[in-house]
Amino acid sequence: MRIYPFALAFMMSMTTAIAEQKASVLAANMNNYTVYGHVEEVALIPGDIEIKARLDTGASRSSLNAQEIKLIESDEQPMVSFIFDDRNGNQYPMTLPLVEKIGIKQASGRQERYVVEIGLCVGEHYEKNLFTLADRSRMTYPVLVGRNFLKNSVLVSSKHKMTAKPVCEIDA
């Protein structure tokens, strides 16, 4: 088999050009993101509850440490009543509209969880976010922030933590 030097040089230059183009597109897209550590202080709204949370790119959904979870049936909108335990000695009773009920696969089997919407502030980034309610009392952090929040404007550094305080401006 005969290799033509011009063809080989052309293929290599095209490969390099494509890689440079992809890198510049990635860099431009990353300008819209903020880098935070894998553990950050966040604020839950309503309640203005400031708490340490784990930012987890491996979790598809965010989750809250909820105790005494009860479904309140209603003709209009089903509600979920629960106590958010921040594991610092504070408990916050909450009653929020049920968004959905989902099944979660775990090593111990399948578990049904309620999903509610709560405002979440990380650094300067705020958005309403869906949280599953779960007993996280055995976990290090009572709040897990998943990809459903992170994908829009947050990158997570596994090297850093506690890089920003929650300082969101929220329109009422």
**pLDDT tens string 99-151:** 999 887 777 778 889 999 999 999 988 999 999 999 888 889 999 999 999 88
CATH class of 34-157: mainly beta
> Is residue 83 pLDDT above 90, yes or no?
yes
- As given in the structure block, the two tokens for residue 57 are 């790119």
Strands (E), 17-172: 34-37, 39-45, 49-55, 62-72, 79-85, 91-97, 100-106, 109-122, 125-134, 143-145, 154-157
Least confident of 4-8, 70-74, 77-81, 155-159: 4-8
Measured CA to CA in angstroms, residue 2 lies from 9, 13, 22, 116, 129 at distances of: 14, 20, 31, 65, 59
Q: pLDDT band at 11, cuts 50/70/90?
A: low
Question: What is the sign, positive or negative, of the torsion defined by CA atoms of 125, 126, 129, 131?
Answer: positive
Domain boundaries, the chain: 1-32, 34-157
Q: pLDDT band at 3, cuts 50/70/90?
A: low
> Is residue 90 pLDDT above 70, yes or no?
yes
Pairing of strands 100-106, 109-122: antiparallel
